[in-house]
Amino acid sequence: MQFLTILFDTLLDILPIAAIIFGFQYLVIRKKVKHLPQVLAGFVLVLIGLSFFLMGLEQALFPMGGLMAEQLSSETFLPALAEGAQRHWSDYYWIYIFAFAIGASTTIAEPSLIAVSIKAGEISGGTINPLMLRIAVALGMAFGITLGTWRIVMGYPLQWFVLGAYILVIIQTLRSPKSIIPLAFDSGGVTTSTITVPIIAALGLGLAASIPGRSPVMDGFGMIALACLFPIITVMGYAQIAEWKEKRAAKATPAASRN
Amino acid sequence: MDFAFSLLRQMRDSLRDLAPVVLVIGFFQLVVVQQPLPDSVNLLDLFTGLLFVVIGLTLFIQGLQLGLFPVGEGLAQAFARKGSVFWLLLFSFALGFGSTVAEPALIAVAAKAGEVVAEGGLIANTLEAQNAFAFNLRMVVAASVGTAVVVGVIRILKGWPLHFMIIGGYIIVLLLTLAAPDEIVGIAYDSGGVTTSTITVPLVTALGVGLATAIKGRNPMLDGFGLIAFASVMPIIFVLAYGLIGV
């Protein structure tokens, strides 16, 4: 019964794109769709698949993220507090470690990232090392989420962090080698896959709900935004370091050959 | 036979996406937390749920590759070559809008946002009000991605430089942040990250690459990317504006 409701809602979700694709195809381009039965079968698979995914989302992904946030910030788990003392932000260290581990582990093995980094290595002609690039993206993502959890613990406004990150991105965009810029911006999007987004969202909202003095509306969001911004910064940073090393090596070689 | 193979390969990819999450959480449960699960969480439910996620994602992506992507990409290339700016822009908007409405990560985050905003007392705490908020949010984000694709296509046609436009977008975001109600800021920033995942990226990239190949002197790699970069800034602007006008 529940599945039928989800199935119907999902049908409404994919109706616009189906209408747009077939509408433009038949009314504007006026050509028949090639392999029509296969295309229709594809739409049915999308419908069933999305319904299953959304059901699993409610049943597993959201609860898992929320559960971790709740357990790692509960009073029974945290170090004991002296009478009347305020809790220090460093008491939540397991949360930061967890956030970092989730961010790094989901990113480092991401197939689309592996493909992109190999390609970037080829384009750069050896200046960029594919493995180092992947590490740069994973570190950026992990740092972004960890910073996001720390922000929720402290209750600082998200604006400050995003403003700071924007300023860094702008400065680096103006200073980085041109060829790396598209790649850097893309890597921000690569890190937020369909599975990690719900887990991270639930983690942030769960933390904001269980840490005293924080509210989910004011503090719970923003983890995804930071997780997207910091890979841009680390990738451009890595490219700048790689370029600087290249230049230094180029300067050093003629000097060495003269001696 | 081919189909069964690609289905299996897709399932392996979905499992590989899920594995690090399950491993990290499992490690923390067994080694760090070492507490029994609370009554609200049922282990069997979790496992069936994860199974649904893997099956769902596998079928979903397989279906996209079978139906939506080939037709969508064919259309994108046809419109890029057609030469009519009006139809091209209309199609660009429709493509950005329609693909974002069906984006799973956006459905997930919008539903959570509806719940949280209702609990926070900003809208009536009923299921209808929550669903209405989630629906409106998704429509605003979808319209913003549609607009982003239109702006990106105009940029490719005119050959405007990309970074100045993105920096301009950032500045608008910062100005709107000062004016918008604080409760919407987090949701707005997050909605920029969820739009660029499963459906939108391949379709919109196909449009950018098709256009860049059809127009002389454009770089497919650079221009295809530009559309995505806009699609992650524009939602922030639109959702902040939506919060300003009134939720």
- With beta carbons under 8 A apart, name residues in chain B contacting A61: 49, 53, 108
Indicate the length of chain A as a whole number. 259
Nearest to A53 by CA among B116, B19, B103: B103
- Render each residue's pLDDT in chain A as its tens digit; 259 residues: 678 888 998 999 999 999 999 999 998 888 888 889 999 999 999 999 999 999 999 899 999 999 999 899 888 888 777 666 777 888 889 999 999 999 999 888 777 778 778 877 777 777 788 899 889 999 999 999 999 999 999 999 999 999 999 999 989 988 887 777 877 887 777 677 788 889 999 999 999 998 988 988 889 999 999 998 999 999 999 988 888 888 888 887 765 555 4
Q: How many CA atoms lie within 13 A of B115 on its CB side?
A: 16
B7 Cα distance to chain centroid: 24
Shortest CA distance from B225: residue in chain A: A182
Same domain, B57 and B137: no
Structure tokens at B55: 């099956």
Interchain proximity A41–B52, CB inside 8 Å:
no
Contacts of A43 in chain B (CB under 8 A): 63, 67-68
Cα angle for residues A178, A179, A182 (degrees, 5° grid): 95
Q: Does A6 touch chain B (CB under 8 A)?
A: no
Sort out which chain A residues have CB atoms less than 8 A from B53's CB and list them.
52-53, 56-57, 60-61, 195
- Examine residue A68 and state whether it is found in any structural domain, yes or no: no
Domain co-membership, B139 together with B241: yes
A59/B46 touch (CB, cutoff 8 Å), yes or no = yes
Same-domain pairing of A105 and A218: yes
For residue A120, give the chain B residue with the closest CA: B221
- Residues of the domain holding B116: 83-245
Give the mean pLDDT of chain B: 87
Determine what percent of chain A falls in helix, strand and coil, rounding each to the nearest 5: 80, 0, 20
Q: How far apart (Å, rounded) are the C-alpha atoms in residues B246 and A244?
A: 49
Closest CA to B224 of B143, B147, B162: B162
Of B66, B102, B113, the CB nearest to A41: B66
The residue-averaged pLDDT of B21-29 equals 92
Residue A110 and residue A171 share a domain = yes
* Last residue of one domain, picked from the residues B67, B99, B124: B67
Residue B99 burial (C-beta neighbours within 10 Å; 0-12, 13-18, 19+): buried
Please check whether residues A234 and A106 belong to one and the same domain.
Answer: yes
What is the Rg, in whole angstroms, of the alpha carbon atoms belonging to chain B? 21
Backbone angles phi, psi at A188, to 5 degrees: -65, -40
Q: Give the tokens for residue A187.
A: 């890597």
**Residue B229 forms part of a structural domain:** yes
Q: Are the C-beta atoms of residues A151 and A89 closer than 8 Å to each other?
A: no
Does residue B78 fall inside a structural domain? Answer: no
Judge if B63 and B93 occupy the same domain. Answer: no
Amino acid at A180: I
What is the distance between the alpha carbons of residues A91 and A89, in angstroms, rounded to a whole number? Answer: 5
Q: How far apart are CA B240 and CA B246, in angstroms?
A: 10
Q: Say whether residue A24 is in contact with chain B using an 8 A CB cutoff.
A: yes
Same domain, A133 and A233: yes
A209 and A152 in a single domain? The answer is: yes
Pairwise CA distance, residues A213 & B10, whole Å: 44
Same-domain status, B8 and B110: no
Q: In whole angstroms, how far apart are CA B167 and each of A108, B120, B161, B171, B230?
A: 29, 33, 11, 6, 11
ipTM confidence: 0.89
| Domain that residue A232 falls in | 73-77+90-249
Co-location of A27 and A94 in the same domain:
no
- Distance of alpha carbon B30 from the chain centroid: 34
pLDDT at B49: 94
pLDDT tens for residues B163-212?
Answer: 788 889 989 999 999 999 888 999 999 998 888 777 887 788 778 878 87
Half-sphere exposure of A27 (CA within 13 A, CB side): 8
Q: Is A216 in Cβ contact with B17 (below 8 Å)? A: no
- Examine the domain organization and report whether A122 and A188 are in the same domain: yes
Of B17, B32, B182, the CB nearest to A193: B17
Cα of B141 vs its chain's centroid, Å: 9
Interface test with chain A among B54, B66, B125, by most A beta carbons within 10 Å: B66
Q: Which of A197, A196, A158, A179 lies closest to A235, judged by CA?
A: A179
Q: Does A85 reside within a domain?
A: no
Residue at A163 is within a domain = yes
- CA A122/CA A116 separation, integer angstroms: 10
Question: A25 and A116: one domain?
Answer: no
Of the partner residues B187, B189, B197, the one whose CB lies closest to the CB of residue A193: B197
Q: How far apart are the first and last CA of chain A?
A: 82
Domain-embedded: residue A45: yes
Residue in chain B nearest A197 by alpha carbon:
B105
In a domain, A256, yes or no: no
Check CB contact under 8 Å for B109 and A201. yes
Q: What pLDDT is stored for residue A106 in this prediction?
A: 86
| B94 → closest Cβ in A24, A72, A101 | A24
B217 and B131 assigned to the same domain: yes
Q: What is the dihedral of CA B175, B180, B183, B187, to 10 degrees?
A: -60
B57 and B93 together in one domain: no
How many domains does chain B fold into? 2
Q: How far is CA A9 from CA A1, A54, A55, A195, in A?
A: 13, 10, 12, 20
Q: Are residues B37 and B103 located together in one domain of the fold?
A: no
> In this predicted structure, what is the pLDDT of residue A135?
92
Are A123 and A233 within one domain? yes
Residue A51 at interface with chain B, using a CB cutoff of 8 Å: yes
Mutate to test the interface with A, among B13, B71, B138, B230 (most CBs of A within 10 A): B71
| AA identity, residue B8 | L
Distance (Å, rounded) from C-alpha A203 to C-alpha A208?
A: 9
Q: Which residue of A has its CA nearest to B72?
A: A21
Whether B118 and B177 share a structural domain: yes
Please check whether residues B224 and B102 belong to one and the same domain.
yes
DSSP A134-170: HHHHHHHHHHHHHHHHHHHHHT--HHHHHHHHHHHHH
Q: Determine, for residues A42 and B183 on separate chains, whether the beta-carbon distance falls below 8 Å.
A: no
**Model confidence over B156-174: pLDDT tens digits?**
888 888 778 888 998 999 9
Contact B54, B10 (CB under 8 A): no
Contact partners, residue B21, CB within 8 Å, separation at least 6: A64, A102, A105, A106, A195, A196, A199
What's the structural domain count of chain A?
Answer: 2
Contact assignment for B49 to A194 by CB distance below 8 Å: no
**pLDDT of B240 higher than 90:** yes
Contact residues on chain B for A41, CB-CB shorter than 8 A = 63, 66-67
**B154 and B211 part of one domain:** yes
Task: Round the CA-based radius of gyration of chain A to a whole number and report it.
Answer: 23
Whether A146 is covered by a domain: the verdict is yes
- Domain for residue B76, yes or no? no
- Please indicate, yes or no, whether residues A241 and A120 belong to a single structural domain of this protein: yes
Rama region for B159: left / alpha / beta (φ>0; ψ in -120 to 50; rest): left
Same domain (yes/no): A151, A200? yes
Instruction: Quote the DSSP letter at residue B84.
Output: -
